[in-house]
Amino acid sequence: MIGNTEISWGWMAKLFHWLMFLVIVGAYVAVNMHEMFEEGSAQRDWWMMLHKSCGLTVFVLVWLRLGWRMGQPVPENFAGPLMSKLASIGHGLLYLLMIVVPASALLMSQLAGYPVSWFGLVELPVWLDVNKELAGQLKDLHAEVLAPALFVLIIAHLLGALWHHYFDKDDILKRMLPFWRSRGL
């Protein structure tokens, strides 16, 4: 089913979840790969282009995902009041970081005067006046605070999902998997 029910995620929500997972992993892999090549080399620039393209994709996808979510029931989390409160705070923070991690970098690129290319197909022009100092601060915020915070949260989220599967032995992890169908509703 395309939409969610009270107890299961529809395929659209699952598609958004796993597509987002792939592009976020892509962004982390690409930025680490770019560091393996010398400054000014074509490979380094290529990996950075890939990093920015994945990041820009995250920024577009997150709004579409939130828009879709607003018109949908959200499956109930049956892990108890404290754990489900923690899970919704965690999910809220994940959404927030999926916005501010790429947004901080897009603003940084604007203030540094660099256009951002999306896989070499579309180019986001520079609209703002250059301010190198602020751009430098945003780079530190993006690379040293926000992106690591997203990473930590993703690991906690992953551990939470595994906890459900191996310790609580419930369907929470399984119900986000692509081909799993609820036996209930």
Residues that bind ligand HEM in the complex, under the rule CB under 6 A = 17, 20-21, 24, 27-28, 31, 51-52, 55-56, 58, 69, 74-75, 77, 91, 94-95, 98, 101-102, 105-106, 109, 116, 139, 142-143, 147, 150, 154, 157-158, 161, 172-173, 175-176
Single-letter amino acid, residue 71:
G
Per-residue burial over 82-118, b = 16 or more CB atoms within 10 Å of its CB, e = otherwise: ebeeebeeeeeebeebbebbbbbbbbbbbbbeeebeb
Distance CA 24, CA 172 (A): 22
Given the complex with ligand HEM, which of 88 and 129 has the nearer CB atom?
88
Given the complex with ligand HEM, which of 15 and 91 has the nearer CB atom?
91
The nearest distance, CB 122 to ligand HEM, in angstroms, is 13
CB 147 within 8 A of CB 104: no
Given the complex with ligand HEM, which of 129 and 180 has the nearer CB atom?
180
